[in-house]
Amino acid sequence: MKILFLPVTILFLSLLCISTAKEQTHPVSIGYCAELAEIDAVKWAGFDYIELRTSEIAALSDQDYEKIAAKLNQIELPVPTTYLFIPASIKLTGPETDKVLQMNYVRKALNRVSKLGAHTVVLGAGTARQYPAGFPKETAFRQLIDFCKRLGPEARTRDITIAVEPLRKQESNIINTVAEGLELVRAVQDPNIQLNVDFYHLEVEKENPAIILEAKSHIRHVHMANPEGRVFPLNWEEYNYGPFFKILRKIGYQKEISIEGRTADFVREAPRAIAFLRGAVRAHQ
């Protein structure tokens, strides 16, 4: 989605966000998965950071990239993490993989996001990792292991951790659960290849949140949305979020949580979502 702001809207949003201004004392930062066109909206909403699309950053011309980097620095909006890493055109599984193409893209993308300050890059890439019909799943899994083994050292030289994201079956036919993501991470055995947990996918796949306890030493990032519509999480009454946040407390999670979801009213719902997540984190600490 793209958000267009008029001066009066920005003023209204600024006033609305006073109660959800940044708090320097809470250990978990709340961010938003956004397009480049949404930078101003994310800043005015009071998010602690913006999670940008890696592939969108990689596709920019050098001149446009420098402009974006300068703007983020000017408005003091951090980019500690990015998502949508590998575009659909670069296959990670199947008979048409190209290792040279993969790594040329990886180096360019990681160079750019690292210069923006990113320390975590989420590896979802549902289409890129989806293997074609008739192709052995075991072979596709081995291809992902091989890719991650090549990816890990590239990430390490840039002080970046790759967080593999399990995706619901509607988005990929491989690595659909945290348990499967954990299997991949353990097979790769690289300290810079870890896990992202997305509450939406966890719930859609009906996976027991207790898996997070088993995977706790590998979890580096969290995505959040209300599973009913994949929309902004706003309050305790709309969904049973409690068990998830209790599990995060048990593992001592103190990193970033990014909202990856839709909203029909960003101006009103973004501040509410920020306040809710900050309260949810505090309630279970």
Q: Look at residue 150 and tell me whether its pLDDT is greater than 70.
A: yes
> How confident is the model over 224-235, as pLDDT tens digits?
999 999 999 999
Percentage of the chain beyond pLDDT 90 is 89
- Residue 142 pLDDT more than 70? yes
The domain spans of the chain are 7-283
Given CATH 3.40.190.10, say whether it is the number of domain 7-283: no
pLDDT tens digits along 38-80 = 999 999 999 999 999 999 999 999 999 999 999 999 999 999 9
SS3 label, residue 256? strand
* Residue range 247-265: mean pLDDT, rounded: 96
Q: Alpha helices of 2-136 — where are they, by DSSP H?
A: 7-16, 39-45, 54-58, 62-74, 99-115, 126-129
Question: Which range is least confidently modeled, 17-31, 85-99, 159-173, 265-279?
Answer: 17-31
How far apart CA 217 and CA 183 sit, in angstroms, is 13
Q: Are 239 and 226 in contact (CB under 8 A)?
A: yes
- Residue 267: what pLDDT? 97
Work out the pLDDT band at 26, boundaries 50, 70, 90.
Answer: low
Q: How far apart are CA 124 and CA 135, in angstroms?
A: 20
End-to-end CA distance of the chain: 33
DSSP type of residue 90:
S
CA–CA gap between residue 172 and residue 142 (Å, rounded)? 16
**How does residue 222 score in pLDDT terms, banded at 50, 70 and 90?**
very high
Inter-residue contact 194 to 161 (CB < 8 Å): yes
